[in-house]
Structure 1
């Protein structure tokens, strides 16, 4: 098996509460620019840094929203690796398990600029770096120079490899989407239609009124 062809797999982790087009575009650009075989969308089951989840989607609802969002893309795949864990889910454990199960696969963990600046606070950052290549997307409020400086520093600190994606600065967050839902604003073109429909049908985030259509307009 020494000559087995190595695969390149991207991982989009997150709570996806809810998933939005920013996640999907980032996954697609990583697939394209890094010549990945596929991208795993991996909802976090019990992230230690987001313990207060009152008023949010359930685990099953978050999984279903991801499933619906990626269903039309043949190289996107839903992974429940972190949803099935007991206790808190930690990135280094997930990556080390995947590496053990798939020794001929190289993993690329995709994060946003905000997460990069918090990377030192993650559990076992050196072990994360040892198990994958970190892929970083830019955001509007972050300069490329500062981003590159931080990537260089973290690479030296933890012995890892950090790559910056050449992406559009799509500054969308799940928090922003939840805020729009509370304000009864339209989510059209920011969230896939099938996901919008699921949110309203299941009254996730307490968002539904009888006079609101699928796109959120009155």
Structure 2
């Protein structure tokens, strides 16, 4: 079985995440894609604006409903503390031992920061990578072994920009699925204090 792993803050989940999953599924013939919201992303440990994990998980659940090969995984949400990719992949390897193939789906910006991650060599040993182009992150001509380019237009969508638009009351329906937009409106997520 070929399993795609799409982790992130998903704050909120948006068309860029869904496009990444759709293209990865099609180009790499993935049997399943696990969307794994991070409980506490390492790069956002001190970020008070991060929506609660339960809301981020619910938004993912709403966004992927109806996609038969896409599943929400609460693996990182159940684990206390910071969500490190290497720990998640070690757990997934217990669930999906070889010969199952695990494909970690990332943007080229993550590839540029790989040396800062916890145990990058182990991450590369545990999974193959599907790397999507991102604006302002030049792509090297050749990728290391076990890394593959995803052929798609660079993703320029940013969750922080979307949160700002939502705070201003702008329409984000072209980037955020309607069920997620409705949930954000209903729960008051991303609303400014006093607004």
TM value normalised by structure 1? 0.84
Question: Residue 164 of structure 2 corresponds to which residue in structure 1?
Answer: 179
Q: Distance in 1 between matches of 2:189 and 2:173?
A: 16
Q: Distance in 1 between matches of 2:155 and 2:83?
A: 27
Select which of 60, 67, 72 maps to 2:66: 72
TM value normalised by structure 2? 0.93
Question: Residue 38 of structure 2 corresponds to which residue in structure 1?
Answer: 44
Select which of 206, 209, 215 maps to 2:191: 206
Q: Deviations over 1:83-119 (max 9, x none)?
A: 1101211111110111122214210000011111001
1:116 aligned counterpart, secondary structure: helix
**Equivalent runs, 1:115-134 vs 2, <5 Å:** 115-134=110-129
1:18 is aligned to 2:12: yes
Q: Which has the larger radius of gyration?
A: 1
Q: Deviations over 1:14-59 (max 9, x none)?
A: 0000000100010010000000101110000112211123133111
1:148 is aligned to 2:140: yes
Q: Distance in 2 between matches of 1:79 and 1:197?
A: 22
Q: Distance in 2 between matches of 1:22 and 1:62?
A: 15
Q: Distance in 2 between matches of 1:39 and 1:28?
A: 9
Q: Any conservation in 2 of the 1:200–1:207 contact (CA below 8 Å)?
A: no
Q: Deviations over 1:153-210 (max 9, x none)?
A: xx3xxxx511110012231011110111122211011000000010011000116999
Q: Distance in 2 between matches of 1:113 and 1:133?
A: 14
Question: Residue 4 of structure 1 corresponds to which residue in structure 2?
Answer: none
Number of paired residues? 194
Q: Distance in 2 between matches of 1:74 and 1:207?
A: 36
Q: Which consecutive aligned stretches of 4+ in structure 1 deviate over 6 angstroms post-superposition?
A: none
Q: Distance in 2 between matches of 1:50 and 1:70?
A: 24
Unaligned runs of 5+ in 2: none
Q: Distance in 2 between matches of 1:134 and 1:86?
A: 26
Q: Any conservation in 2 of the 1:56–1:205 contact (CA below 8 Å)?
A: no
Question: Residue 53 of structure 1 corresponds to which residue in structure 2?
Answer: 47
RMSD: 1.8
